[in-house]
Structure 1
Amino acid sequence: MYREILANNLLPSVRALKMGRGWVFQHDNDPKHTARATKEWLRKKHLKVLEWPSQSPDLNPIENLWRELKVCIAQRQPRNLKDLEKSFTRGPVEQRSDPYCDRVVFSAAR
């Protein structure tokens, strides 16, 4: 499935953007990214891949937002889908202001 997503989206996007060969693909160590079949597919397509650790907030600021979302949801303890949806309309998601986004981005280690 992941390879299909790459084939149907990554390669056409690269062509549409006329990126040529001077780009590097980045994904983390999620199991679908590191599967032998995925690595082989990327190798056969001659794609350069930047190795990237999974769940590393020092390198990937979005991990800080995911952590805040998990805490927010755990505190609210939703009992059903409607409660869960409310969790996403309050708290960190609602705070998507520029200063909040700046804090998330600048939380990455320099």
Structure 2
Amino acid sequence: MWTKSDQKRIVPTTKHSPKINVRAGFSPMGIFPLCILTENMNSQMFIDILEGHLLTHAEIFHRNEWRLVMDNDTKHSSKLAKAYLVQNIPNHLPWPSQSPNINPIENIFSWAKRELIKLALRTIPELRKKREIV
């Protein structure tokens, strides 16, 4: 960086910004709490989220009258995930891949991203703390 003074200007940079994945659910009854992940998701992690996060909240909101709608992501359509879904969530519906215009969760994530930018959070712990407040 060029400066007019003799002092060097040091600007801290981040070589690799923190990576987060957020999983969420919603229904006419409300929005499920966010599930924040800091690692890449695989099929087993997808199943763990279904068991530990989605199923609990779906039962609270809807008892047995709900449907899981998901896209054709490879984590959702792997042999492991399909076997789990058939056995534990038989009322799941496929969603056309590459169809963000008709997928309502994409609109919610777009809104959420704009809102998060306004908060100017800098770290994943700050995000987790804010999630607990909201």
Name the TM-score, length of structure 1 as normaliser: 0.51
| Greater relative contact order, per chain length (Cα 8 Å cut-off, separation 6+) | 1
Aligned positions, number: 68
Matched, 1:8 2:52: yes
Q: Which has the higher strand share?
A: 2
Deviations 1:68-99 (A, max 9, x none): xxxxxxxxxxxxxxxxxxxx88xxx67xxxxx
Equivalent in 51, 73, 76 of residue 30 of structure 1: 73
Q: Where does the alignment leave 5 or more consecutive residues of structure 2 unmatched? A: 1-44, 119-134
Runs (4+) of structure 1 exceeding 4 A deviation are none
Question: How many Å separate the matches in 1 of 2:66 and 2:59?
Answer: 12
Q: Which has the higher helix share?
A: 1
Residue 30 of structure 1 deviates from its aligned partner by 0.4
Question: How many Å separate the matches in 2 of 1:20 and 1:47?
Answer: 14
Question: How many Å separate the matches in 1 of 2:102 and 2:92?
Answer: 16
- Asked if structure 2 preserves the Cα contact closer than 8 Å seen for 1:25 and 1:47, the reply is no
- Asked if structure 2 preserves the Cα contact closer than 8 Å seen for 1:25 and 1:49, the reply is yes
Residue 55 of structure 1 deviates from its aligned partner by 2.2
Question: How many Å separate the matches in 2 of 1:56 and 1:12?
Answer: 28
Equivalent in 88, 92, 101 of residue 58 of structure 1: 101
SS at match of 1:47: coil
After superposition, where does 1:14-93 map in structure 2 within 5 Å?
A: 14-17=58-61, 19-60=62-103, 62=106
Residue 57 of structure 1 deviates from its aligned partner by 3.0
Q: Where does the alignment leave 5 or more consecutive residues of structure 1 unmatched? A: 67-87, 95-110
SS at match of 1:44: helix
- Asked if structure 2 preserves the Cα contact closer than 8 Å seen for 1:3 and 1:41, the reply is yes
AA at the equivalent of 1:47: P
Residue 41 of structure 1 deviates from its aligned partner by 0.6
Q: Max radius of gyration: which structure?
A: 2
